[in-house]
Each structure stands twice: as C-alpha cells, then as structure tokens.
Homo-oligomer: A and B are copies of this chain.
Amino acid sequence: MSAAIHLAGPDDLPKLLALVTAFHGEEGISQSDDQRMGGIEPLVQGIPHGAAYLLGPKRAPMGYIIVCFSWSVEFGGLDATIDEIYLRPPVRGRGIATEALISIAKALRDAGVVALHLEVDTRNEAAQRLYTRAGFRLRDRYQMMTRVL
C-alpha cells in the first residue's frame, strides 16, 4: 500500500505539530510546546536545512517524515538525513513507511542529493528491517558521537 506524500507548508503547521507531538510522546522526547514549535516551524517556512512531508490525505495526514539536508565531502555533494519518521499506530505494518522512504529517496536523487542517512535504535529490529527493505545499509564500523552545545 502506498500513500500520498506532500511537502508541508505554513498552512499544514497545526496538523504537523499534532503528529510530531504524538511521535515525541511515544518516544519519550520531552520538549515544551515552544521548543517543539521552534523545531518544526522553520521547516515549513522554507529554510534550506530541511523539509517536512505529510503522508496520506492532505486534510487528515496519518504520518510525517522530516528530511534534513547537509553536505558530505566524501559523498561529494548535498546529502540528506531522515530526522524523524512517524505513522499513526492504526496504519502501521502496511508498507506505507517503506513506500514513502523509497519515493522520497527517488525524489531526492532526482534533485541531485547524493546520499540519504538515518539513525536507527540498535535494539529495534523491526525498524532495521523496514529501513533495509527501503535500501538502507548499516554503517556498522562507525558510531555517532554528539556534544550538546
């Protein structure tokens, strides 16, 4: 099963915020409403660093994908990362996320993006299988390190 995908604009902000809030609740990501809005509003305003896509009917989206853009010298150009991906629980397990990822990967490639990355929870085998079906491969020689600024 596939689902329509559309780029979220300013008018989609309330629906996007509701979905992001649901995802963060499920993941235990604690943010104030202002912080959460500060993280998503620039994405619907057209900043060059990322974009939000809504999955499903425009008036009643059932999920979202945040794609963020960066640069890689090794890959030789613009690369992108799936920053967040979420589907409402009742529509999971139907291949919608896999199809959406494949479709977004194709659109990014056509736009000249050279590689697409994501971070997966090492204990979440279902997610790893989903991403593998969508063409992603584990970079298992490498590990991310982060410094919060």
Contacts and interface: CB of A to CB of B under 8 A. Distances in A.
Nearest to A20: B73
A25 to B, nearest CB: 13
Interface in A99-149: 105, 108-109, 113-123, 128, 131-132, 134-149
A105 B147 contact: yes
How many of chain A's residues touch chain B, expressed as a range? Answer: 35 or more
Contacts of A108: 149
B39 A116 contact: no
A38 interface: yes
Contacts of A48: 48-49
A113 to B, nearest CB: 6
Interface stretch (A55-63, A78-86, A88-96): A78-86
A47 interface: yes
Given A35-B76, A42-B71, A48-B48, A122 B141 contact: yes
Interface of chain A, helix or strand or loop or mixed?
Answer: mixed
A29 interface: yes
A143 B138 contact: yes
Nearest to A81: B70
A8 interface: no
Nearest to A135: B147
Interface of A: 20, 24, 29, 31, 35-36, 38-40, 42-43, 47-50, 66, 68-78, 81, 83-84, 105, 108-109, 113-123, 128, 131-132, 134-149
